């Protein structure tokens, strides 16, 4: 078959041809179920398609394929079976021959002639050529699709296109990789539309597929791809994702000019087709294409044709079908001839959904009501591709949502992977055929016509013609169902609205078939007389002969003849002289009435018999026949349906014959009245009318017969095509089985190799492995399992709990439990088990699965980890010691890694800031997130400076603030140093401690405040003592004998005051909370005692003390008394004038501080402003240095603090001063 090859595999007598850039080469690979898909693809190829196809199928080696004949009905391109060394030409379809694989000899761009081994290359075509190679002998795997696709990719590269259609196995999946890698284009049939989805799904799984389409759409996409590739235009399929306004304008424009409402079509389909035309016209935006549509009516027409796709679905407009079931079906099954099946015609059925809907509803009604009358649905459409889809009865699974649930549950469809199929009980009742309702003869005697949403696409005159066909097709009172926007129009008189709003009509009268009358509308110019036949005589008559002779005489006297025929119109008996109507044929005897009867009576007789079959009796009158120039016959015909002897169905045909003398010729012997001429003309007119009636009946009969014959012929043609397709399919499946068997053999070989690998692995593995079944029985084990379990060949299938093992009983129980859990949860687990000698074994338990993803058993791997466990225990012990040491320290420890790796922050650091163990990760960036934003830059700078100095110059010692868990900040000190350094002189590790110095900071602040207070207090006390000494000098300077008593009293008072001030100064610094005597004190009594001590000083003044009810608290009597006396003295000393004034001491409520005693003193304001005094009191470093009241306020603040309280001074207005003291009633220092 092929030439001898050189060692490198090339044919020495063939050069590698040059690629022709004028066409693309398209390879189609298909197997089981691929014939219909190939037909659908090829049927879409236009006549002027310049590109070539190579169809590669799995076919039987001994089978003569009829593929060329079958595909020849679907295309005008030439088809030919590939022969060896055949040139590859444009515009052809090449088919694979039996017992061969196809390859293409040629590479891209190689056009130079070659001579190999002295053999000159073939002359003529310098392009690519086919070569036939022998397939691999069985049982070796033969993959003809892969072989060709790989050759296609090598030969034409980017000008190659591969298509994978229906089939099982994986053939083609390897070849598309080569096509794709060489810039080719790969298409795969949508698995839901494939009869066998193995090849499409395998191809899709490679990830090398450009588009997944139904076969009907492939040629259109290939054409688009080729034009786009030649023009360099990119895909614009998503162009309308954001621009919907322009899309609506385009649809409106096309709808307006085409007079078809395309807004009811599916929007994604319209957008895709607009985008395709847009790209083909070279536009880059929808607006530009819209502008062309407005200027180019031809392009609008092209786009409208793109829009015309079959729009149908199951039970469209469900209320119509519900009304049909409830109001129509009962009468329809009961009407007409109930012995005959109902005839339903589904017009414009598209892909068959509506026809199957009607069949399901009719069958459901029959079954529910016990009706025996059958039905047939004749479904027609002008689209051959749609009819091919409808015949399959296979639809996407999601389409089943359109079918009512009650019908789905009754088993009218069968679900498979991704699709559903109409069951044979329904499918066999539907006959599909290609039919043009406007041009082809209609079906006859139909009981129902379903034509919904077809008329709206036809012009008014065509609509009228179709409506007339419907009326002729339907029997009287039959049903017509139209679409929601359709009506009979001007022919409404033929139809009576039955359910008007749902467009369901009843046929009121049967329209005439004008087609037959028009063809038979011609005038007869002559009549041919028929010879009479002499009646035969018989001897030896029987009584029956006498009866017949009597009947014959009676019939002859009345000019009548009776012929009795069976249901097939074969003669049974005759009565009377049959010579006027019957004649013996010259070519031999025949008993069939049509062969014997006068040819002028054949049509009327057969029509009468047919009507008698339906109605019982049929009559035809005044049928005229001219016998000669002098005589003519008038025949009245009556046919009756009877029972005759053994014939249950027979027909008695009675001929009543009347012979008349013709008037003489009007030119011979006419009188003046002209009557002979008129009589002759009347006779001729009567005969013409009779002949016209006979011809009309004949034409009507021929028309009905022709329609039935045409329907029968179409059904037989369809059946023949299906038989041829089934035969081809059977052969393809046979080859496919060979391919699958070879693939299985290869897989078995692979499994054997894999089994050997597993056995070798188990025999040499050091790790202990035991494979358990679902029932925990030993299936396999490795040699490394010996230290843990004592297993031998006889232990296979032994239960796990019955094997000899070195593990402890508790460990074996845990192992069995882990295996059961792995089977139930489908999750692996691991644990460490103990051996009987005290060692440790690490066990991993994981389930393994079968092809159906269900657990098939458990794999347990075991490894001795005793040494590792001991080392781990030692490491754990040391770690616990270190952690205990770190926890005992007050400082936190850190170990930071600059490179990705484990870092460490001690738990003490987290606890120091109030965080849990997992709240702060062990990372440097996590720690820096806690640093106060004001301190972050300084911290980074200090850390960077230390790291850059490599521990030689700048130590890492940083004081900063870190955020606690409650949001407050703690003062911390960070000390550390770099420990490891990378190749780039960068530190790889930093170790140090973090100490909480918040208390140290607080003590420092407290010391600073006390030092400042002491300095201020000494200064104030010194000023006050100087003031007292000055007062003493004044007293001594003015001392005289007349005033000695008064002077001594004043000296005594001043000296006592100085003594108390000195003691207060000592107490201010020496008294601690623990040195005080705490008792319950009545503050009212203490305040009155303090006021009494100042009675002498306020005598002679207009100053009054008002002391309200004060509560009792726990405190120091001496300090509290001194505090009240000091406050009253301050109020006495800071008066502005000697005007009458009042000092009030009272308790106020403080709702914000429960449990506190708040005492308020209201007195005249001093000669200072609030700005000079400050808060919380006078003694805050103000400008009033010479006032002794600062000393007193400082003292009172100290007393309040010792009693858990605070003191503050405020000035609500310039004339008043308010001193507020808040004390803790339960304070116990």
What lies within 8 Å, CB to CB, of 320 at 6+ separation is: 452, 481, 502, 503, 504
CATH of the domain at 814: 3.30.450.20
Omega within 30 of 0 (cis) for the link into 502: no
411 and 536 share one domain = no
| Dihedral angle, C-alpha 387, 393, 394, 396, nearest 10 ° | 80
For residue 252, is it within any domain? yes
For residue 746, is it within any domain? no
Phi then psi for 946, rounded to 5 degrees?
A: -65, -45
259 Ramachandran zone, left/alpha/beta (phi>0; psi -120 to 50): left
97 and 174 share one domain = yes
- Of residues 1077 and 118, more confidence is placed in 1077
What lies within 8 Å, CB to CB, of 34 at 6+ separation is: 57, 165, 166, 167, 195, 732
341 and 300 share one domain = no
Tell me how far CA of residue 714 lies from CA of 95, 432, 721, in angstroms. Answer: 28, 9, 10
Number of domains in the chain: 7
Predicted pLDDT of residue 1044: 64
- Of residues 689 and 1070, more confidence is placed in 689
CA–CA distance, 1106 with 1123 (Å, rounded to integer): 17
Classify each residue of 9-33 as buried b or exposed e, where b means 16 or more C-beta atoms within 10 Å of its C-beta: eebbebbbbbbbeebbbbbbbbbbb
Predicted pLDDT of residue 365: 92
Report residue 165's pLDDT band, with 50, 70 and 90 as the boundaries: very high
- Can you tell me the mean pLDDT for 376-393? 83
Q: What is the pLDDT of residues 1109-1155, one digit of tens each?
A: 888 888 888 888 888 888 887 877 766 555 667 888 888 877 667 66
The answer to whether residue 910 scores a pLDDT higher than 70 is yes
CATH of the domain at 1220: 3.30.565.10
Concatenated DSSP letters for 372-402? ---EEEEEEES-HHHHHHHHHTEEEGGGGGG
Predicted pLDDT of residue 929: 87
Nearest to 524 by CA among 636, 662, 624: 624
The answer to whether residue 106 scores a pLDDT higher than 60 is no
The domain in which residue 264 lies consists of: 244-307
Q: Choose one of 231, 257, 284: the last residue of a domain.
A: 231
What lies within 8 Å, CB to CB, of 1060 at 6+ separation is: 1122
1163 and 1106 share one domain = yes
Q: What is the pLDDT of residues 271-320, one digit of tens each?
A: 766 875 676 566 777 888 889 999 888 888 768 756 654 557 788 888 89
Predicted pLDDT of residue 537: 39
CATH of the domain at 106: 3.40.50.180
pTM: 0.30
From 20, 31, 43, 100, the catalytic residue: 31
CATH of the domain at 251: 1.10.155
| Residue 358 CB burial class (10 angstroms; 0-12, 13-18, ≥19) | buried
The answer to whether residue 561 scores a pLDDT higher than 70 is yes
Report residue 1179's pLDDT band, with 50, 70 and 90 as the boundaries: very low
From 36, 171, 197, 864, the catalytic residue: 171
| Residue 326 CB burial class (10 angstroms; 0-12, 13-18, ≥19) | exposed
CA–CA distance, 648 with 641 (Å, rounded to integer): 10
184 and 265 share one domain = no
- Of residues 966 and 666, more confidence is placed in 966
302 and 324 share one domain = no
From 58, 283, 469, 1203, the catalytic residue: 58
For residue 1033, is it within any domain? no
Which two tokens mark 493?
Answer: 């008189």
82 and 205 share one domain = yes
- Of residues 281 and 1006, more confidence is placed in 1006
Q: What is the pLDDT of residues 387-412, one digit of tens each?
A: 888 888 888 665 677 789 889 888 89
Q: Choose one of 460, 483, 511: the last residue of a domain.
A: 511
Highest mean pLDDT among 384-388, 527-531, 936-940, 1017-1021: 936-940
537 and 591 share one domain = yes
299 and 322 share one domain = no
Catalytic status, residue 566:
no
Helix, strand, or coil (residue 308): coil
For residue 634, is it within any domain? yes
Report residue 725's pLDDT band, with 50, 70 and 90 as the boundaries: low
Concatenated DSSP letters for 626-641? E-SSSEEEEEEEEEEE
The answer to whether residue 4 scores a pLDDT higher than 50 is no
Which two tokens mark 513?
Answer: 């078939």
What does DSSP say about strands 93-95 and 115-116: parallel, antiparallel, or unpaired? unpaired
CA–CA distance, 202 with 29 (Å, rounded to integer): 13
327 and 303 share one domain = no
For residue 753, is it within any domain? no
**Beta carbons of 601 and 637 less than 8 angstroms apart:** yes
- Can you tell me the mean pLDDT for 536-557? 61
CA–CA distance, 109 with 118 (Å, rounded to integer): 23
Predicted pLDDT of residue 377: 94
442 and 344 share one domain = yes
Predicted pLDDT of residue 697: 65
Report residue 61's pLDDT band, with 50, 70 and 90 as the boundaries: low
Q: Choose one of 630, 653, 679: the last residue of a domain.
A: 679
Residue 988: CA atoms inside 13 Å, Cβ hemisphere, count?
A: 10
For residue 1192, is it within any domain? yes
CA–CA distance, 1106 with 1143 (Å, rounded to integer): 6
990 and 1087 share one domain = no
- Can you tell me the mean pLDDT for 163-191? 83
Catalytic status, residue 31:
yes
For residue 836, is it within any domain? yes
What lies within 8 Å, CB to CB, of 824 at 6+ separation is: none
- Can you tell me the mean pLDDT for 601-629? 75
The answer to whether residue 524 scores a pLDDT higher than 50 is no
Long-range contacts of 574-579 (CB under 8 A, 24+ apart): 575/548, 575/551, 576/551, 576/552, 577/535, 577/552, 578/533, 578/535, 579/532, 579/533, 579/534, 579/535
Which two tokens mark 796?
Answer: 């296979």
Catalytic status, residue 171:
yes
Tell me how far CA of residue 728 lies from CA of 92, 168, 719, 731, 789, in angstroms. Answer: 21, 16, 14, 5, 61
For residue 724, is it within any domain? no
């Amino acid at each position: 078959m092929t030439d001898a090859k050189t060692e490198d595999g090339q044919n020495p007598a063939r050069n590698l041809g040059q690629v022709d850039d004028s066409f693309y080469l398209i390879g189609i690979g298909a197997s089981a179920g691929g014939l219909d898909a190939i037909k659908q693809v090829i049927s879409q190829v236009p006549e002027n398609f310049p590109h070539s196809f190579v169809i590669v199928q799995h076919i039987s080696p001994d089978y003569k394929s009829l593929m060329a004949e079958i595909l020849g009905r679907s295309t005008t391109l030439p088809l030919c079976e590939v022969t060896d060394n055949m040139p590859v030409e444009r515009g052809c379809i090449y088919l694979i021959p039996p017992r061969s694989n196809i390859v293409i000899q040629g590479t891209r761009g190689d056009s130079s002639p070659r001579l190999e081994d002295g053999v000159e290359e073939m002359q003529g075509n310098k392009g690519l050529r086919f070569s036939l190679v022998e397939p691999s002998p069985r049982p070796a795997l033969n993959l003809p699709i892969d072989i060709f696709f790989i050759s296609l990719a090598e030969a034409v590269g980017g000008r190659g296109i591969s298509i994978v259609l229906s089939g099982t196995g994986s053939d083609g999946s390897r070849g598309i990789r080569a096509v794709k890698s060489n810039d080719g284009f790969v298409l795969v049939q949508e698995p839901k539309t494939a009869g066998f989805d193995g090849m499409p799904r395998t191809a899709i799984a490679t990830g090398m597929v450009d588009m997944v389409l139904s076969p009907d759409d492939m040629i259109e996409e290939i054409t688009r791809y080729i034009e786009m590739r030649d023009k360099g235009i990119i895909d614009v399929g998503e162009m309308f994702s954001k621009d919907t306004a322009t899309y609506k304008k385009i649809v409106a424009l096309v709808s307006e000019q085409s007079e078809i409402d395309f807004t009811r079509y599916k929007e994604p389909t319209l957008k895709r087709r607009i985008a395709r035309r847009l790209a083909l016209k070279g536009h880059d935006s929808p607006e530009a294409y819209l502008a062309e549509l407005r200027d180019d009516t031809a392009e609008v027409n092209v786009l409208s044709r793109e829009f015309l796709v079959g729009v149908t679905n199951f039970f469209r407009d469900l209320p119509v079908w519900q009304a049909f079931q409830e109001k129509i079906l009962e009468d329809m099954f009961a009407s007409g001839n109930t012995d005959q099946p109902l005839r339903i015609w589904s017009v414009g059925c598209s892909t068959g959904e509506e026809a199957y809907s009607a069949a399901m509803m009719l069958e459901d009604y029959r079954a529910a009501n016990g009706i025996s009358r059958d039905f047939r649905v004749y479904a027609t459409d002008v689209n051959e591709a749609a009819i091919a889809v409808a015949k399959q009865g296979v639809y996407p699974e999601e389409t089943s949502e359109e079918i009512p649930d009650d019908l789905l549950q009754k088993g009218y469809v069968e679900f498979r992977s991704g699709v559903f199929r109409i069951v044979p009980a329904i499918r066999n009742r539907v006959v599909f055929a290609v039919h043009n309702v406007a041009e082809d003869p209609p079906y006859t005697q139909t009981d129902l016509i379903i034509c919904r949403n077809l008329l709206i696409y036809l012009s008014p005159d065509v609509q009228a013609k179709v409506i007339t066909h419907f009326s002729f097709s339907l029997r009287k009172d039959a049903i017509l169902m139209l679409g929601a926007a359709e009506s009979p129009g001007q022919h409404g008189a033929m139809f009576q609205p039955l359910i008007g709003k749902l467009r369901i009509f009843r046929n009121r009268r049967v329209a005439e078939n004008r087609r037959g009358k028009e063809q038979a509308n011609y005038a007869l110019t002559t009549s041919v007389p028929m010879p009479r036949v002499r009646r035969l005589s018989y001897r030896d008559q029987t009584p029956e002969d006498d009866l017949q002779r009597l009947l014959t005489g009676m019939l002859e006297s009345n000019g009548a003849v009776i012929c009795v025929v069976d249901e097939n119109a074969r003669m049974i008996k005759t009565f009377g002289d049959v010579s006027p109507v019957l004649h013996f044929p010259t070519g031999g005897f025949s008993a069939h009435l049509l062969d014997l009867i006068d040819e002028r009576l054949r049509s009327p007789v057969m029509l009468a018999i047919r009507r008698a079959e339906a109605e019982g009796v049929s009559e035809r009158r005044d049928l005229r026949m001219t016998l000669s120039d002098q005589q003519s016959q008038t025949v009245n015909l009556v046919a009756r349906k009877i029972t005759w002897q053994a014939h249950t169905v027979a027909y008695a045909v009675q001929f009543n014959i009347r012979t008349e003398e013709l008037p003489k010729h009007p030119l011979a012997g006419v009188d003046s009245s002209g009557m002979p001429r008129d009589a002759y003309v009347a006779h001729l007119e009567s005969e013409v009318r009779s002949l016209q009636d006979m011809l009309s009946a004949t034409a009507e009969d021929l028309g009905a017969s022709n329609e039935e014959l045409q329907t029968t012929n179409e059904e037989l043609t369809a059946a023949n095509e299906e038989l041829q397709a089934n035969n081809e399919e059977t052969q393809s499946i046979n080859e496919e089985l060979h391919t699958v068997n070879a693939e299985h053999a290869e897989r078995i070989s692979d499994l054997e190799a894999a089994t050997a690998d597993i056995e070798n692995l188990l025999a040499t593995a050091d790790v202990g492995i035991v494979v358990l079944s679902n029932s925990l029985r030993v299936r396999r084990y490795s040699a490394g399992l010996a230290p843990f379990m004592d297993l031998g060949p006889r232990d296979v299938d032994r239960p796990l709990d019955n094997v000899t093992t070195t593990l402890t009983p508790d460990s074996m129980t845990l192992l069995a439990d882990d295996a059961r859990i792995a089977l139930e949860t489908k999750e692996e687990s691991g644990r460490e088990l103990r051996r009987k000698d005290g060692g440790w074994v690490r066990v991993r338990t994981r389930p393994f699965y079968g092809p159906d993803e269900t657990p098939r058993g458990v794999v347990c791997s075991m490894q001795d980890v005793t040494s590792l466990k001991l080392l781990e225990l030692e490491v754990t012990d040391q770690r616990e010691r270190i952690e205990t040491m770190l926890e005992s320290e007050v400082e936190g420890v850190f170990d930071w890694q600059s490179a990705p790796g484990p870092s460490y922050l001690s738990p003490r650091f987290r606890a120091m800031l109030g965080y849990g163990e997992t709240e702060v990760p062990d990372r440097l960036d996590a720690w820096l997130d806690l640093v106060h934003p004001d301190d972050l830059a300084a911290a980074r700078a200090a850390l960077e400076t230390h790291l850059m100095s490599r521990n030689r110059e700048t130590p890492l010692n940083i004081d900063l603030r870190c955020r606690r868990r409650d949001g407050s900040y703690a003062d911390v000190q960070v000390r550390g140093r770099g420990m490891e350094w990378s190749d780039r002189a960068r530190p790889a590790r930093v170790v140090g401690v973090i100490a909480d110095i918040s208390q140290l900071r607080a003590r420092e602040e407290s010391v600073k405040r006390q030092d400042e207070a002491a300095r201020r207090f000494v200064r104030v006390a010194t000023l006050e003592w100087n003031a007292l000494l000055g007062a003493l000098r004044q007293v001594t300077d003015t001392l005289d004998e007349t005033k000695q008593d008064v002077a001594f009293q004043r000296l005594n008072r001043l000296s006592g005051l100085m003594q108390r001030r000195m003691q207060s100064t000592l107490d201010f610094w020496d008294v601690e909370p623990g040195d005080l005597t705490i008792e319950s004190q009545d503050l009212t009594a203490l305040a009155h005692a303090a006021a009494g001590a100042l009675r002498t000083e306020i005598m002679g003044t207009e100053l009054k003390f008002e002391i309200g009810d004060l509560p009792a608290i726990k405190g120091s009597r001496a300090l509290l008394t001194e505090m009240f006396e000091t406050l009253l003295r301050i109020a006495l000393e800071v008066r502005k004038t000697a005007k009458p004034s009042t000092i009030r001491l009272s308790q106020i409520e403080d709702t914000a501080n429960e449990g506190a005693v708040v005492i308020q003193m209201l007195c005249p304001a001093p000669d200072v402003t609030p700005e000079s005094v400050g808060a919380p009191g006078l003694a805050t470093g103000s400008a009033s240095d010479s006032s002794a009241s600062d000393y007193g306020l400082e003292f009172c603040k100290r007393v309040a603090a010792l009693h858990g309280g605070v003191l503050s001074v405020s000035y609500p207005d310039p004339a008043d001063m308010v001193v507020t003291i808040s004390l803790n009633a339960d304070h116990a220092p």
